[in-house]
Amino acid sequence: MTKKESGKTLVVVESPTKAKTLSKILGSKYTVKASIGHIKDLPKSRIAIDVENNFQPEYILVKGKAKIKNELVKLARGSQKILLASDPDREGEAIAWHLCNILDVDPQTLCRIRFYEVTPKAVKEALKKLEPVDMNRVNAQQARRVLDRLVGYTLSPLLWKKIRYGLSAGRVQSVALNLICEREREIISFVPSEYWHISVLASSLDKTRNYDLKVMSFKNKSFWKEGKPLLISSSEQAEKIASDIAKQELVVKEYKVKEGKRAPLPPFKTSTLQQEAARRLGFSPRRTMRIAQSLFEGVSVPGRGPVGLITYMRTDSLRIAPDAINGARTFISERYEAKYLPAKPNFFASKARSQDAHEAIRPTDVTLTPEILKNVLNSEQHRLYTLIWNRFVASQMASALVANAILDVAAGSYGLRQTGESLIFDGWGAVWPLELKGGQLDPAQPEETLLCQEIEKEQRFTKPAARYSEATLIKTLEEKGVGRPSTYATIVETLYDRGYVEKNEEKRIEPTQLGMTVDDFLLQYFDSKSQSPIVDTGFTAQMEEQLDLIEEDQLQWVEVVRSFWNGFTNTLEEAKKASAVELPEPEPIGEDCPECGKPLVKKRGRFGEFIACSGYPECRYTKPILKTIGVKCPLCGETEGGEVVRRRSKKGKFFYGCSRYPECKYVSWNEPTGEKCKECGASLIRKNKKSLPECPECGWKKEKKGKKENK
């Protein structure tokens, strides 16, 4: 260590990217180094929890971290001061605590620096507010870590013995699996009920106004309740209603319009960011968090240098700092008309027990618009930043104004209705998509007679609850109080990795046979009636509340763990007496492996079914199951007979290719329809199930029947 370096302050962070950004912000008087995540943790090879000695964990140096540790120790010895700048959450606090142990720093000294955005202003403010390590937060992390280790390292071996080697169970993981499996059981047992939807297509006498009326009631008794069909349950009944209406005059009873406000949506927290990124961008929770982490840690912006672009992305708070609100209001007033700025700032209430030390997820500088950063960020960073920026700006804009119209029409004793919603003032909808219910509804006069143009009868069947998507699963976990912002992404990915669930063609989560088997077994012993109901959402939510209370210094972490362990061990002993579960044998396909000659079988993995050798693991031969879509290959279909098949990428995304691959290289992310473009002759594609065919070459689109086809 040179004299020049000896007077420096050592700042330790988790990631090299964050270290790079922070180093440029702090300048030459600081040395910034990254620990690359946790420096110490529990060993992977054994449980490492001393149950007899107050559940004391045995922390060791993380494998491969010896070089980093030695470098940090050397730098610490020659530094005037040591500051620990790991992330401002439980995991970050635990990292700081372990670094204290490694670097011989008293955790009670002012060694901790916390900032919620990596910007010069935030960092300089944080330097004025140095704090000790928060041991309550450390203890909450320890309690979670110990609980998860005890469950995982005792229950997983039980699954190995009773079902199959390599399986796992977890305190939160098993609850999430149970939610998915319970939904699947509901779907399997669901018995659809027939009902009929009857609509009357009507118009004004001069045919300048058109209406699509739904049959709602008979003699003031509703056919519907809370949007669900009640009474029209047969074709005979539907036919009679249609016949009765056809004989009646359609008379307008009431047309009313009520102006309503649509308040802006709040800025993002972790769960809602993951949900919207999945819905609008197709990002998995893990992908979303990885990209958000890179935006938080910072990029180099021309003219500004290194700067973190968003606030800390693991948060369940909706609080916004006053400076950020003022910045947003100034920006809105300069870019938009005065009516888009509300008279007072918009504030949003967070749920009870949210970590209010964190803000909501927002841009650190609202003047750094997505347009400015388009050439600074990569594609996925730019898309996610745009989502965050738009949502934040929208949250501080004026309410949208909508006109809610209701038209009630009488056909004898039958009541018909149409509703519509139209936009009066877009407000925050200028920045964030505002979804209207129905469209513009033409006005009508009371006692006005309408012409009946057509009566449509449509047979429908009630449907079970939909399978979870990644977004709706996270939403449900949050609503039920299971898990925390930092764990949602990991929970979902673990279920995929264990082969317990897979993503189907509709991008919904579907349990595999293995997942159902594991859940069935756990339910036998760990359901809501047991001493340790670890697959019960209420029990797991209660555990999360206890972790929060530890952080608030209202509970002792050892006592929380002990209380859980006593009930869990009793239940575990009962489960050990269970008989082994026989898993169904993989289905043979009637072919032999081309590499070893053993029978090929059909298996299920993370991304659905595939063909594999029955000799696994000695033979690792696999091949995909190709599903044709009934369309000839646009390149070789006419000459070589190639067919379009649907495949999955290594990341699980569907795409379309030729059955003759690799001889034919045809590939498309969008589904080919087998039709030709009327303008240029290229093959038409469909971008999603609801979209109409269009040409990827010239842009020609096929419109609905009765509408002109446009280019």
pLDDT digits over 126-162, tens only? Answer: 999 999 999 999 999 999 999 999 999 999 999 999 9
227-236, 241-250, 443-452, 475-484: which has the minimum mean pLDDT?
227-236
Q: What are phi and psi of 30, to 5 degrees?
A: -125, 145
pLDDT tens by residue, 410-420: 999 999 999 99
pLDDT at 607: 61
Q: Using the predicted structure, report yes or no on whether residue 587 has a pLDDT greater than 90.
A: no
Respond yes or no on whether the N-terminal peptide bond of residue 617 is cis (omega within 30° of 0). yes
Show which of 510, 543, 577 is a domain's final residue: 577
Residue 114 domain-assigned (yes or no): yes
* pLDDT for position 2: 45
Q: What are residue 83's phi and psi, to 5 degrees?
A: -120, 135
Overall average pLDDT of the 385-403 stretch? 97
441 falls within a domain: yes
Which residues is 404 bridged to in the sheet?
A: 258, 421
Q: Is residue 83 located within the same domain as residue 124?
A: yes
Q: 591 and 682 share a domain?
A: no
Lowest-pLDDT range of 137-151, 261-275, 278-292, 677-691:
677-691
Q: What is the residue-averaged pLDDT of the chain?
A: 90
Across the range 433-443, mean pLDDT stands at 88
Residue 309 counted as domain residue? yes
Cis peptide before 662 (omega within 30 of 0): yes
239 vs 215: CA distance, rounded Å: 13
Q: Are 398 and 341 in contact (CB under 8 A)?
A: yes
Choice between 116 and 230, residue whose per-residue pLDDT is larger: 116
Phi/psi-derived region of residue 36, left when phi > 0, alpha when psi is between -120 and 50, beta in every other case: left
For the segment 167-179, the average pLDDT, to the nearest whole number, is 93
Whether residue 2 lies inside any domain: the answer is no
Average pLDDT over residues 651-679: 86
Residues 18, 127 share a domain: yes
In a domain, 301, yes or no: yes
Average pLDDT over residues 233-245: 93
pLDDT higher than threshold 50 for residue 681: yes
My answer on whether 374 and 308 are in the same domain is yes
- Is 413 inside a domain boundary? yes
The pLDDT value recorded for residue 357 is 61
pLDDT score, position 424: 95
**Separation of first and last alpha carbons in the chain:** 70
According to the 3-state scheme, what is the secondary structure of 169-202?
Answer: CCCCHHHHHHHHHHHHHHHHHCCCCEEEEEEEEE
Cα(468)–Cα(63) distance, integer angstroms: 37
- How far is it, in rounded angstroms, from Cα 394 to Cα 177? 35
Q: Exposed, middle or buried: residue 44 (CB in 10 Å: 0-12, 13-18, 19+)?
A: exposed
Q: Do 119 and 48 belong to one domain? A: yes
| Tokens (6 digits) for 129 | 């507010």
Length of the chain: 711
Q: How far apart are CA 16 and CA 307, in angstroms?
A: 14
CA separation for the pair 560, 89 (Å, rounded):
20
- Measured between alpha carbons, how far is residue 344 from residues 248, 317, 347, 615 in Å? 53, 21, 9, 69
- Statement: residue 619 has pLDDT above 80: yes
Same domain? 17 vs 101: yes
Q: Quick one: 436 and 478 in the same domain?
A: no
Share of the chain above pLDDT 70, in %: 95
- Is pLDDT at 688 greater than 50 in this prediction? yes
Q: Which of 48, 176, 124, 41 is nearest to 476 (CA)?
A: 176
pLDDT at 180 exceeding the cut of 70 = yes
* Same domain for 122 and 22: yes
Helix (H) or strand (E) holding 77: helix 66-77
Please state, in angstroms and as integers, the Cα–Cα distance from residue 687 to each residue in 278, 505, 655, following that order: 17, 14, 11
What's the pLDDT tens digit per position in 533-563?
A: 999 999 999 999 999 999 999 999 999 999 9
Q: Does residue 520 fall inside a structural domain?
A: yes
Between 225-234, 362-371, 499-508, the lowest mean confidence (pLDDT) is in 225-234
Provide the 8-state DSSP code for 427.
G
- Total tally of structural domains belonging to the chain: 6
DSSP state of 279: I
pLDDT digits (tens, 9 = 90+) for 77-109: 999 999 999 999 999 999 999 999 999 999 999
Is there a domain that residue 1 lies in? no
pLDDT band at 228 (very low <50, low <70, confident <90, very high): low
pLDDT digit string (tens) for 278-314? 999 989 999 999 999 999 999 989 988 888 999 999 9
On whether both 96 and 129 belong to a single domain, the answer is yes
- What average pLDDT does this structure show over 390-419? 96
pLDDT at 235: 93
| DSSP-based three-state secondary structure for 139 | helix
Most confidently predicted of 338-347, 499-508, 691-700: 338-347
Instruction: Mark whether 362 and 278 lie in a shared domain.
Output: yes
- Taking 80 as the threshold, does the pLDDT of residue 53 lie above it? yes
Other beta carbons within 10 Å of 682: 14
Of the pLDDT bands very low, low, confident and very high (cuts 50, 70, 90), residue 230 is low
1 pLDDT tier (thresholds 50, 70, 90): very low
Q: Active-site positions?
A: 312
Q: Give the separation between CA 139 and CA 122, rounded to whole angstroms.
A: 27
Q: Which residue has the higher pLDDT, 443 or 603?
A: 443
Structural domain containing residue 451: 194-263+400-461
**Paired tokens of 272:** 């809602």
Among the ranges given (51-65, 279-293, 334-348, 683-697), the one the predictor scored with the smallest mean pLDDT: 683-697
pLDDT category of residue 352 using cuts at 50, 70 and 90: low
- Helix axes of 120-127 and 16-26: crossing angle, nearest 10 degrees: 80
Q: Are 128 and 22 contained in the same domain?
A: yes
